[in-house]
Amino acid sequence: MKVFDFSVPTRVFFGAGEVKQVKATAAQLGRKAMLLAAKDTMRQTGILQRVEGLLKEGGVQVVVSDDVAPNPRDVDIDGQAKAFLREKCDFAVGLGGGSSMDSAKAVAFLAAQRGGTILDYLAGGPRADLTGTKPAFPILCITTTAGTGSETTPWWVITNTQHHEKPGTGNDSTRPAVSIVDPELMLSLPKEVTRNTGIDVLFHAMESFIANVATPFTELFSREAMRLVVQHLGRALENGQDLEARSQMAWANTIAGIAIGEGKSSTVGIHALGHSIGGQTDAAHGLTMAAVGPAYMRKTWDADIARYAEVTRALGFAQPGQSVEELARRSPEALEKTLEKFGCRVRMSDLGVKASMIEAMADSAFKTMAGCLNCSLKSLSRPDVVELYKESL
């Protein structure tokens, strides 16, 4: 067996109505919170006011910053971190999807450094390895999507507006202290968001399973999350009010987050290539992986046939009598059929990518997402990445 280590330091409250735990837990994190939420939607649904009220009932003062962009930008974080310090906040609350939770992490981190800009700490910046940085202020995440898994990872992704990149980073201090996963908050999610975020969960689960850093601990979560998405995403798409389907997808998201966020675990080349599409086009994160996933699987399926065979099984496309090699060889097709089933079999051109962007995207994948690229079971050169992009155009 492998040598590995693990822990799940975030305390996660899961279940319908559990948003109420905001009141019980917030005061353990600090006295004054900056509450970061997406522009408009959280206020329109009333969720923002509800969480603000629960924080106050819990004895916490609140500064609301409900101007988080769908892909949060470096300049936004710089401004929010300044406000955090000016208002003397001592913890950050991210309410919403990945963008809000990642903003809360980035703000809690940058504010703790007491100076500089977030670009200093992102790929290409002078302190990008985060060594010697101060630990972030405490973070509370409340996810309203079954999406990014950000509530159980240390990772945060901020758009570099100067270079059109979406670098991801994070360290132990940017794991949420507490996360709340309340499927009731997800009932009003539009179908398109349900799909794009649900597909992201599928890729977290599948990629962490075929990562060279997978461990017996993360595999348990990866396999179960793949199974749950296949079983429940369709129902959540058909009827957004189906609390059981929402709950199962929320749970799949939570544990896929553990699988990509725990220890040295990670996604692989699919996320690396997807992020660079997102940097160029602002396309929905989940769809960027859908565009490149099948080509990645065709390129890598023979790197570990037992693992890729298990992907075909978990996606529900194993036939009796097929050999492990046959099952592994069919994993790209199994992924394609799964994407088709959920209405998101797309090509990069559907997302606005042009052939002329490919070289810049390949550069960016190596510059900003080398960590994920290096977790692939088959090592990918720059020409390999260009080839995968061309095949997926």
What part of residues 94-123 is at the interface with a copy of itself (CB under 8 A)?
none
Collapsing DSSP states into helix, strand and coil, what is residue 38?
strand
Q: Does 187 bind a copy of itself (CB under 8 A)?
A: no
Residue of the chain from 23, 143, 162, 220 that contacts a copy of itself (CB under 8 A):
220
Closest approach, Cβ 51 to a copy of itself, in A, equals: 18
Residue from 91, 155, 156, 221 binding a copy of itself (CB under 8 A): 221
Round to whole Å and give the CA distance between 251 and 235. 15
Residue numbers 241-270 binding a copy of itself by CB under 8 A: 244, 247-248, 251, 255
Min dist. Cβ of residue 125 to a copy of itself (A):
29
Residue 214 to residue 351: CA distance in whole angstroms = 30
Residue 373 C-beta: closest distance to a copy of itself, Å? 25
- Cβ-based nearer residue to a copy of itself, 8 or 377: 8
Question: Nearest 10 degrees: CA dihedral of 94, 100, 104, 109?
Answer: 150
Contact 147, 94 (CB under 8 A): no
The CA dihedral of 93, 98, 100, 101, to the nearest 10 degrees, is: 20
**Cα 245–250–252 angle (5° rounding)?**
95
- Answer whether 200's CB lies under 8 Å from 35's CB: no
Q: What is the CA radius of gyration of the chain?
A: 20
How many CB atoms are closer than 10 A to CB 78?
17
12 binds a copy of itself (CB under 8 A): yes
Distances (CA, A) of 297 to 42, 141, 233, 302, 310: 37, 33, 22, 9, 13
5 scored as a contact of a copy of itself (CB under 8 A): yes
Tell me if 10 contacts a copy of itself by CB under 8 A.
yes
* Residue placing its CB nearer to a copy of itself in the complex, 2 or 114: 2
Give whichever of 41 and 265 is closer to a copy of itself, judged by the CB atom: 265
Is 6 among the residues that bind a copy of itself (CB under 8 A)?
yes
Q: Which CB, 26 or 62, lies closer to a copy of itself?
A: 26
Shortest CB 217 distance to a copy of itself, Å = 8
Is residue 4 at the binding interface for a copy of itself, with CB under 8 A as the rule?
yes
DSSP string, 197-219: HHHHHHHHHHHHHTBTT--HHHH
**171 contacts a copy of itself (rule: CB under 8 A):** no
Residues of the shown chain interacting with a copy of itself in the complex, contacts defined by CB under 8 A: 1-18, 21, 183, 216-217, 220-221, 224, 244, 247-248, 251, 255
